[in-house]
Structure formats: C-alpha cells, structure tokens
C-alpha cells in the first residue's frame, strides 16, 4: 500500500448510497453483532480491540454510543483516554493502555488511544522525531504482543471528517444547549493546526500499519456507523466461533 494522502480520500458517503436503506442495513448488522458478541463471550478464545481516532467533532463519541452502545455492556467495555493523570505520566506511555487491553471473550473500545502519544504530542512539538519513531516501534511491538499472545483482533478506525464539516459541528456546540457541554474554545485553536495534524496522521498510518487502519468517511454519521459496524461484524464472523457446549469436568 502506498502512502495514504488524506486530502485525496473523500470524507463523504459514496454517491448514490441511500441513507434510509443503509440505516436499515445497519439495524440488521447490529442484530447480528449482538449474537456474535454473545458467542465471543461464551467461547472466550478471542478478544477484540477497537481503536477510534479522529479530529475533534469527527464523531468518536457518537460511534461509541450508536454502534458499540447497542451491544451487551457486560462484554463490551469502553475506555476514553484523555490527558494523562500524574500516575499515568509517571509510567511508559503504553502502561495505561495495556491495563485496559481486552481479556479473552471481550470487546474493548478505545475512544482515543496510544496514538495520541504520536499525534497531539508531535503537532505541539512536545516530543522530537526520534522519540516519535521509538514510540511507533513500541506501538507496533505492543500490538503484536496482543495479537500473538492473547488472540486479540485489532480494528483501527480513523474518522475522516472535512474541515468544513468540523467547523459546522464545532459551531453547533455553541448554539445547541444539548451540546454546549462539549464546547471548548481551545478546539478552534486546535482546528487551525489542521494541516499539521493531517501530516502526523499520515506519518502514523505509514509507520504503524502492521495492523492496518480503516479510513472512515465521516461527514455523514449514518455512513460512518454503517462502515464501523460492518467491519466489526466481518471480523467476528471470520473467527468461526462455536458455542463450547456443556463444560466437562
């Protein structure tokens, strides 16, 4: 695969795709997922890690609510990573990540993740390139550990939004009382660093691609949700899981 150029990838649903029809399909997939997740839990041979990254207002929270929030919370855990606490910052950057790696039978969602440690940190030049390269290697080693030593299937989603759509969503946060709690004036400052973020994301996709990324066009939420649910469904189906039957002594 050549280097990903985000500016060349559409942020919109494919032309001609019907919204109503796609939403109906999503309902069907969510029902399949409900059954597949139960099977994953019952069999307890595999685990699944879903990493969600994206710019502010790209719809990460919505994806968690509308796709993974429909599944049984007993077997689906969500962890949102924010600025590290003092205790987290006193450890290697993967410590707080590894702590929440999924155990067998579980689906773990990361809303933001270890990738922030090579994204926001680089855009603001809190770390140099040499440190970034070392972190990328450490991330690749870490993801291999989960894959090879705990049958963890990793899905990495980048929610791909256009700067225009982002601006509209950020502005809506000012005016919509139900969204004002999400408003952060700093988001507009961060948005000005758009090109730097894109460059760092592209570098990340190139160097941390042992587990491939899915670039999800996300200007329309219904399409984003459909893509993510489909990927998860296909991944779980591919595991050929079986109910284990009666336990033998």
- Residue 94 contacts a copy of itself per CB under 8 A: yes
**135 near a copy of itself, rule: CB under 8 A:** yes
Measured from the CB atom, is 63 or 94 closer to a copy of itself?
94
The only residue of 5, 9, 74, 95 in contact with a copy of itself, by rule CB under 8 A? 95
Measured CA to CA, the distance from residue 234 to residue 218 in angstroms comes to: 20
What is the distance between the alpha carbons of residues 51 and 61, in angstroms, rounded to a whole number? 12
**Is position 119 an interface residue for a copy of itself (rule: CB under 8 A)?**
no
Minimum CB distance to a copy of itself, residue 32 (Å): 25
Candidate residues 101, 118, 123, 211; the one interacting with a copy of itself per rule CB under 8 A: 101
Contact 151, 47 (CB under 8 A): yes
Q: Is 81 in the site for a copy of itself (CB under 8 A)?
A: no
**Structure-token match 């990254």, residue found:** 53
Instruction: Using CB under 8 A, pick the residue from 25, 79, 104, 179 that binds a copy of itself.
Output: 104
Structure tokens at 79: 């962890």
Beta-carbon contacts of 54 under 8 Å, excluding residues fewer than 6 positions away, are 60, 157, 158, 159, 160, 161, 218
* DSSP-assigned letter for residue 177: T
In the numeric block, which tokens belong to residue 218?
């996300």
> Angle CA(208)–CA(193)–CA(84) in degrees, nearest 5?
60
Nearer to a copy of itself, 108 or 166 (CB): 108
- Is residue 207 a contact residue for a copy of itself (CB under 8 A)? no
The helix (H) or strand (E) run that includes residue 226 is helix 221-237
Q: Which of 22, 150, 207, 221 binds a copy of itself (CB under 8 A)?
A: 150
116 contacts 204 by C-beta, under 8 angstroms: no
Residue 210 near a copy of itself by CB under 8 A: no
Binder among 37, 66, 152, 166 for a copy of itself (CB under 8 A): 152
Instruction: Confirm if 232 and 33 have CB atoms less than 8 A apart.
Output: yes
Segment interacting with a copy of itself, rule: CB under 8 A, options 17-25, 100-108, 163-171, 203-211 = 100-108
Q: Which residues bind a copy of itself (CB under 8 A)?
A: 44, 87, 90-95, 98-99, 101, 103-105, 134-135, 138, 141-142, 144-146, 148-150, 152
């Amino acid at each position: 695969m050549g280097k990903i150029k985000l500016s060349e990838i559409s942020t919109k649903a494919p032309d001609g795709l019907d919204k109503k029809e796609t939403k109906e399909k999503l309902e069907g997939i969510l029902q399949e997922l409900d059954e597949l997740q139960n099977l994953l839990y019952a069999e307890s041979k595999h685990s699944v890690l879903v990493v969600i990254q994206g710019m502010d207002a790209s719809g990460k929270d919505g994806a968690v609510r509308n796709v993974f929030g429909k599944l049984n919370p007993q077997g689906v855990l969500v962890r949102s990573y924010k600025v590290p606490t003092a205790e987290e910052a006193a450890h290697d950057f993967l410590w707080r990540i590894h702590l929440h790696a999924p155990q067998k039978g579980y689906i773990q969602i990361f809303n933001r993740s270890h990738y922030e440690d090579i994204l926001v940190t680089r855009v603001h030049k809190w770390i140099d390139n040499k440190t970034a390269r070392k972190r990328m290697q450490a991330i690749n080693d870490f993801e291999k550990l989960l894959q090879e030593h705990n049958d963890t299937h990793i899905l990495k989603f980048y929610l791909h939004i256009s700067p225009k759509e982002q601006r509209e969503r950020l502005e809506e946060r000012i005016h919509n009382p139900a969204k004002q709690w999400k408003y952060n004036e700093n988001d507009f400052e961060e948005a000005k660093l758009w090109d730097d973020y894109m460059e760092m994301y592209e570098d990340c996709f190139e160097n941390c691609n042992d587990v491939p990324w899915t670039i999800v066009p996300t200007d329309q939420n219904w399409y984003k949700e459909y893509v993510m649910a489909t990927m998860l469904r296909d991944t779980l189906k591919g595991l050929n899981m079986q109910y284990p039957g009666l336990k033998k002594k």
